[in-house]
Structure 1
Amino acid sequence: MPIYLYWGEDDFALEKAVDSLRDRILDPQWANFNYDKISQALPDAVITALNQAMTPPFGSAYRLVWLVDTTICLHCSEELLAELERTIPAIPESSVFLLTTRSKPDGRLRSTKLLQNHADIREFSLIPPWKTEELLKKVRQVAQQVGVKLTPAAAELLAQSVGNDTRQLWNELEKLQVYAGIPKGLPAAPDQAGVSQEDAIALEVVAALVTSNTQNSLQLVSAIGAGNTAHACSLVADLIGHNEPALRIVATLIGQFRTWLWVKLMIESGERDERAIATAAEIGNPKRIYFLRQEVKDFSVHQLTLTLPLLLELEVTLKRGADPISTLQMKVIELCQLYQ
């Protein structure tokens, strides 16, 4: 299919997909002649991209035209829509037309519906920090691509450590690849779930080599839940000192407290079925409910209910440009007092 639409906020994963498509499509000897990267910010960017896509490639292989940060799936004039409807079905098989955007396409627009009929649409959204099973699945998927074998415990720790930061995940796995002496470009490793302890990188190696900012964010959650103000403020300083983005810290806090609230609400309502609790809390593995029960037993629904508005207020304040460390520490003190 000559038309692709990639969208989502996971910039690194999207860039990797674009690189893979470019390497697959273009003949290296003719790449300079057959590759056009066009920014939406340029005048008549869409028309220019469509014209280039209609141009036959030089030499062998294909032409690749990449329209970056397109807005046609968010708003599209009647004149531009008419041009899209005329040109997109006629793009030759020798050209590949790629459109990328961080925003979710508006399914109500005719331009989006046109692409749904003619394009291969792929989503590159960030996995919510609280969806631990999806994060673990992503670790196994990328580890297989890199060629690194991990024990189940090592894969879980890596998922906890990097969270939904795809760039860090690749960087850490490439670091582990070097440690294990695995040459780049080897065939992918087999399914990580079936890796033997002898062949795989162990938990201890991941703990020693992997930067664990997200794990420290989870430690911050625990410190707040314990009402330990001094330790919580120290963890905030450590996280900011290690260049962990403040909004990512907040996302981890919101995710964990949200999970705790759902589990506590279900328990308080008398629900005993772990699968039902897991479904309500969006937890992929019902076996985690046993441990979550222990974590929330000393909390009240009232405490957890008051926590989320405070965290949302913190998120808004940071997005307005407040100083990260002082803002985080002030709100962390307020949260710790709630759990004392």
Structure 2
Amino acid sequence: MVLEAWRRIEQKEIAPIYLVYGTEAFLINQTKNLILNQMLTEEEKDFNFAVYDLEETPIEVAVEDAETFPFLGERKVIFLHSPTFLTAEKAKEKVDHNLKRFEAYLQQPAPYTVMVISAPYEKLDERKKITKELKRKAEVIEAKKLNEFELKKWIKDQAISRGLEIDDRAIEQLLTLVGTNMFMIVSELDKITLYAADEKRIDVNLVEKLVAKSLEQNIFTLIEKVVQRRLDEALRIYYDLLKQNEEPIKILALLAGQFRLIYQVKELSRRGYGQQQIAGFLKTHPFRVKLALGQAAKFTDEELMKLMALLADADYQMKTGGMNKSLLIEMLLFGMKK
């Protein structure tokens, strides 16, 4: 697990080669920064740190650098980005890589170099010899999206690292308002920290006071108001979004996406799928599935089918008709009211 790998790195248990792969960009960046800061001082980074884009540079150039002794220091760090040769992608390579040279380096890596291969892909091609060899010789860190339990624990750890406690309700509300984007979560925690420095505690009231709602969360709340037959409050949220210069077509797309998710999770849940299974099937975060399941329970199948038809008609009218787009969504919201 990536969090366990971070602890080893913090304890300076550093491997000579790392393979960091997955689609969670935050975890990839954090891993690279952690290794770099553990290995080199700010002064050493100027001389003993290099980055290679393997879509532009042959792998043997990076290997030659890795085998070269550090300058004015004892260690060096090399980052290798975009190793498409580890995937099954058929994209045309801009450069030819001498993979045999790389394989030879894997057998006997330079003891003074830490090489980090960053592969931002969901899957690697396990059939390829180079992929198998790299996985055997490197410390492999899978930067996959954290599940709900891991994400909540990570948020708690982030608060502790800032000298703060955060209660469970505050974590839940933070995820509800911000979503599961780790970059955004860190940004909001940094903001909250400035206000919570004296109390040393983050509670749900502080989160609600300081964390701005994302557009997606505003859409989620708008749907909640429709469900509760509070059309005036739903319209108020919509008018606020217009004041924030949000485009009606984007609002419509998010409404359609959320209702599509609600319909899908309702159907999959009826078929006996669990939250994690649904998340994997729909390729979305389990926390989003959890929220959608809560909303799905408030709609009958007939109501959802009617709403999907209204959304499809509104999309058609917005793209082909001459009606005012803002007014079109107003009419849609009136039509959604039970």
Please confirm whether the aligned pair reaches a TM-score higher than 0.5, indicating the same fold: yes
Q: CA deviation at 1:32?
A: 1.5
Q: TM-score, normalised by structure 2?
A: 0.68
Contact 1:153–1:202 (CA<8 Å) still a contact in 2? yes
Contact 1:257–1:304 (CA<8 Å) still a contact in 2? yes
Cα distance in 2 between the residues matched to 1:163 and 1:85: 41
Once the two structures are superposed, the pairs formed by residues 14-33 of structure 1 within 5 Å of their partners are: 14-33=28-47
Q: 1:225 to 1:84 in 2, by over 3 A?
A: farther
Q: Confirm whether residue 99 of structure 1 aligns to residue 99 of structure 2.
A: no
- Aligned-residue CA RMSD (Å): 4.4
Q: CA deviation at 1:200?
A: 2.4
Cα distance in 2 between the residues matched to 1:327 and 1:88: 59
Contact 1:53–1:97 (CA<8 Å) still a contact in 2? yes
**1:1-31 superposed Cα distances (whole Å, 9 cap, x missing partner):** 1111222333333222211111001133322
Q: Confirm whether residue 153 of structure 1 aligns to residue 172 of structure 2.
A: no
Q: Secondary structure at the match of 2:60?
A: helix
Q: In the alignment, which of 35, 47, 51 is matched to residue 37 of structure 1?
A: 51
**1:148-193 superposed Cα distances (whole Å, 9 cap, x missing partner):** 31122111111112212111111111112221227xxxxxxxxxxx
Q: 1:56 to 1:172 in 2, by over 3 A?
A: same
Q: CA deviation at 1:89?
A: 1.7
Q: Secondary structure at the match of 1:60?
A: coil
Cα distance in 2 between the residues matched to 1:50 and 1:331: 57
Q: CA deviation at 1:237?
A: 3.9
Q: In the alignment, which of 122, 128, 136 is matched to residue 117 of structure 1?
A: 136
Name the structure 2 match of 1:67. 80
Q: In the alignment, which of 197, 211, 217 is matched to residue 219 of structure 2?
A: 217
Q: Secondary structure at the match of 1:66?
A: strand
Name the structure 2 match of 1:177. 193
Name the structure 2 match of 1:142. 158
**Number of residues of Structure 1 aligned to a counterpart in Structure 2:** 296
Cα distance in 2 between the residues matched to 1:166 and 1:111: 31
5+ unaligned residues in a row in structure 1: which ranges? 183-197, 315-325
AA in 2 matched with 1:113: K
Once the two structures are superposed, the pairs formed by residues 1-340 of structure 1 within 5 Å of their partners are: 1-44=15-58, 46-74=59-87, 80-104=98-122, 105-126=124-145, 132-181=148-197, 200-213=201-214, 214-223=216-225, 230=235, 233-234=238-239, 237=242, 241=246, 255-263=261-269, 265=270, 281=278, 295-301=295-301, 304=304, 340=338
AA in 1 matched with 2:77: L
Identity of aligned residues (%): 19
Cα distance in 2 between the residues matched to 1:234 and 1:96: 54
Q: CA deviation at 1:52?
A: 0.9
Cα distance in 2 between the residues matched to 1:115 and 1:95: 16
Q: 1:248 to 1:41 in 2, by over 3 A?
A: farther
AA in 1 matched with 2:139: D
Q: 1:63 to 1:261 in 2, by over 3 A?
A: same
Q: Secondary structure at the match of 1:38?
A: strand
Contact 1:38–1:68 (CA<8 Å) still a contact in 2? yes
Contact 1:161–1:212 (CA<8 Å) still a contact in 2? yes
Q: Secondary structure at the match of 1:176?
A: helix
**1:73-119 superposed Cα distances (whole Å, 9 cap, x missing partner):** 12699963322211222211210111112213222222221211111
5+ unaligned residues in a row in structure 2: which ranges? 1-14, 280-284, 315-323
Contact 1:151–1:201 (CA<8 Å) still a contact in 2? yes
Contact 1:25–1:62 (CA<8 Å) still a contact in 2? yes
Cα distance in 1 between the residues matched to 2:110 and 2:142: 25
302-311 or 158-167: bigger deviation:
302-311
Q: CA deviation at 1:233?
A: 4.7
